[in-house]
Amino acid sequence: MTSASARSPEEIDSISPEEFAKLCEFFYRRTGIVFSEKKRYFVVRRVQERIATTRSSSFRDYFGLLRFQASGEEFQQLVNLLTVNETYFFREDYQFEALTRGMLPELASARKPGDRLKIWSLPCSTGEEPYSIAMQVLENWPQCDQYEIQIFASDIDSRVLGDAVRGVYGERSLQRVGPALRAKYFEKIKADEYRLRDEIRESVDFSTVNVIDRVQMAAFRGFDVIFCRNLLIYFDDLGRRETVETLFECLAPGGFICLGHSENMSRMSSLFRPRKFADTIVHQKPTDAE
Partner 1 sequence: MGLVKAVRIDSSGERPVQPSEPLDLSMRLAALDSPDAAERRRAVRDLAAEPDAVPALCARLIEERNLSVRTALFTTLIRLRSPAVVAGLLPLLRLDDANLRNEAIDALQDMPEEVGPFVETLLGDHDSDVRILAIQLLSTLAHPDAPRWLVGVVDTDSHVNVCAAATDCLAEVGGPEAIGPLRRLARRFAEERFVAFAVDMAIRRIEGR
Q: Which segments within the chain are labelled E, that is strand?
A: 116-121, 148-155, 168-169, 186-190, 193-196, 204-208, 223-228, 251-259, 273-277, 280-284
Sheet architecture: strand order including 186-190: 168-169, 193-196, 186-190
CA 136 to chain CA centroid, nearest Å? 19
The one-letter code for the residue type at 185 is: Y
Contact 90, 132 (CB under 8 A): yes
13 binds partner 1 (CB under 8 A): no
51 binds partner 1 (CB under 8 A): no
Which C-beta is closer to partner 1: that of 30 or that of 50? Answer: 30
Q: Which of 29, 4, 7 is nearest to 235 (CA)?
A: 29
Contact 152, 131 (CB under 8 A): no
Helix 59-68, helix 17-31: angle, nearest 10: 10
First vs last Cα of the chain: how many Å apart? 51
* Nearest approach, Cβ of residue 216 and partner 1 (Å): 4
Taking CB under 8 A as the criterion, the residue among 108, 124, 160, 204 binding partner 1 is 204
221 binds partner 1 (CB under 8 A): yes
Q: List the interface residues with partner 1, window 92-131 (CB under 8 A).
A: 114, 118
Count the alpha carbons within 13 Å of 249 in the hemisphere toward its beta carbon: 14
198 binds partner 1 (CB under 8 A): no
146 binds partner 1 (CB under 8 A): yes
Q: Which of 185, 127, 181, 177 is nearest to 152 (CA)?
A: 127
* Nearest approach, Cβ of residue 148 and partner 1 (Å): 5
Q: How far apart are CA 239 and CA 88, in angstroms?
A: 26
Q: How far apart are CA 235 and CA 245, in angstroms?
A: 14
User: Can you say which residues are annotated as belonging to the binding site?
Assistant: 85, 87, 91, 129, 155, 229-230
Q: How far apart are CA 34 and CA 161, in angstroms?
A: 22
* Nearest approach, Cβ of residue 150 and partner 1 (Å): 4
User: By CB under 8 A, which span of 9-17, 55-63, 89-97, 139-147 interacts with partner 1?
Assistant: 139-147
Taking CB under 8 A as the criterion, the residue among 73, 171, 192, 202 binding partner 1 is 202
Taking CB under 8 A as the criterion, the residue among 145, 172, 180, 191 binding partner 1 is 145
Taking CB under 8 A as the criterion, the residue among 176, 197, 214, 261 binding partner 1 is 214
Which C-beta is closer to partner 1: that of 37 or that of 205? Answer: 205
User: By CB under 8 A, which span of 36-44, 63-71, 186-194, 206-214 interacts with partner 1?
Assistant: 206-214
* Nearest approach, Cβ of residue 188 and partner 1 (Å): 23
List contacts with partner 1 (CB under 8 A).
114, 118, 134, 137-138, 144-152, 200, 202-205, 207-209, 214-221, 237-238, 241-242, 245, 248-249, 269-271, 289-290
